[in-house]
């Protein structure tokens, strides 16, 4: 798996397969990037469960905050990591233990050794990307901001729910 470049097909199939996302490093502060991403993904119909030991027991965007992944009692499809590259290693191992199918590391987060462990355990991995940006790029919304999405199609776009 080349983690420098992901095909649109790879990212599309991941985002289409996910219902529940555990967001590690989710912030209760509305002006933090993780809050942006959580709010956006909720709007697109994803269930997002925040994980942050410093905010454990609080509520972010209507969801109870857990101290760690092991504490979550329901199935998690994808673990989205808003922590630094080094800290991501232990979170990936926890994601493998709880049976997540996908590990997604945010923009600027990359841990190749942890990615290799996840892949040999059968998980799919995305690094140094944001699911909010990729979802919006693949569904036509990112183009509204003047971004080069790389998408060319002669088909009428379906309206995406906000």
Site membership for another protein, residue 11 (CB under 8 A): yes
Q: Are 1 and 125 in contact (CB under 8 A)?
A: yes
Q: Which residue reads 């600027």 in tokens?
A: 108
Total residues at interface with another protein (CB under 8 A): 43
Distance in angstroms (rounded) separating the CA atoms of residues 142 and 129: 14
* Interface pick for another protein out of 25, 35, 58, 68 (rule CB under 8 A): 35
Q: Are 52 and 65 in contact (CB under 8 A)?
A: yes
Residues 59-98, interacting with another protein (CB under 8 A): none
4 or 120, CB closer to another protein?
4
Using CA atoms, how far residue 162 sits from 40, 66, 155, in Å, is 8, 26, 20
Footprint of another protein (CB under 8 A): 4-8, 11, 30-31, 33, 35-36, 39-40, 43, 107-108, 128-130, 133-134, 136, 140-159, 162
């Amino acid at each position: 798996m080349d983690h420098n470049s992901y095909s649109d097909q790879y990212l599309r199939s991941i985002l289409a397969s996910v219902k529940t996302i555990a967001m590690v490093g989710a912030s209760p502060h509305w002006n933090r990037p993780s809050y942006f991403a959580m709010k956006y993904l909720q709007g697109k119909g994803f269930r997002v469960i925040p994980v942050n030991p410093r905010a454990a027991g609080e509520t972010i965007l209507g969801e109870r905050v857990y101290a760690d992944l092991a504490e979550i009692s329901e199935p998690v499809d994808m673990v989205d990591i808003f922590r630094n590259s080094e800290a991501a290693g232990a979170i990936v191992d926890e994601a493998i233990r709880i049976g997540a199918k996908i590990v997604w590391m945010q923009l600027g987060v990359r841990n190749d050794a942890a990615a290799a462990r996840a892949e040999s355990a059968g998980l799919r991995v995305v690094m140094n990307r944001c699911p909010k940006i990729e979802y919006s790029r693949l569904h036509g919304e990112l183009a509204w901001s003047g971004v080069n999405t790389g998408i060319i199609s002669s088909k009428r776009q379906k309206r995406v729910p906000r």
